[in-house]
Amino acid sequence: MDVHTHCYPDMNINEEMIRLSRMLGIEQLWVSYHPYAMSGFKPSSEEVWRVNEFVYGLSRRFKEVRGFVHVNPLNQDAVKMTEFFIRERGFIGVKLYRAVRVSKRIVDPVIEVAVENNIPILVHTAHRLYPTSRPNESEPDDIRSLALRFPRAKIIMAHITGGGDWEYAISRIRDLPNVYVDIGGSVTDYGSVEEAVKVLSDDRVLFATDTLISAAVARIMNAEISEESRVKILRLNAMRLLGEQA
């Protein structure tokens, strides 16, 4: 089960993703619209509604696709949108990108909806090791703040191998049982999966691609972990996270 991937406006790309996923036996894709295919990191309400409806259309066409509602918490209708796509469109999670850090209280009403509906919240996260002009990008300490405010929230700290210091990221959420990590992303450093399992246990690590399918598959299949842990990461942990919605 791929807990973090994206779709694009180009259906050829989406169809190829489905083809590869079926070939590899990936039975569920937790999909949100790719933010780089949007107009910016603080998209308007109209744009966010449109891209979420696009994801819904994919979920109707491909049985593997499970929708994550992309939310810009700065928009006035963020709560209404979140509720609609969960209750009326059957989406199974919330995706927060780079509109605002999740340590800011403005995200709280959206988080409350997710908690009320018992669904996971996937947060784009990175701890960069180089100068960057990403003031609204959540870091592991922002995730920590969110998890402490909402101990019942099911939080996925996205792509620990998506760029930055993954060892630091893992260490900052060690003692927060409601925070999971996904292993998607482009970084192929040796030992990332092993360190996550060692520090967090194999119950809090989730398979994901972030659209980079070959890197993610190689990362999990070559990780020096037990087969029991591999099965948990590939499938069982995601099923437990979803509960009745799996």
Determine the average pLDDT of the residues in 127-144: 86
Beta-carbon count within 10 A of 54 CB: 19
Tell me: pLDDT of 131 over 70.
Answer: no
Say if CB 31 and CB 55 are below 8 A apart. Answer: yes
Read off the pLDDT of residues 66-89 as tens digits, 9 standing for 90 and up.
Answer: 999 999 999 999 999 999 999 999
Indicate the pLDDT class of residue 232, thresholds 50, 70 and 90.
Answer: very high
Proportion of the chain above pLDDT 70, given as a percent:
98
The mean per-residue pLDDT over the stretch 131-158 comes to 93
Q: Is the pLDDT of residue 130 over 90?
A: no
Of residues 224, 165, 172, the one with CA closest to residue 199: 172
Helix 140-149 × helix 108-116 angle, to 10°: 60
Q: Select from 206, 201, 210 the least CA-distant residue to 231.
A: 206
What DSSP state is assigned to residue 164? B
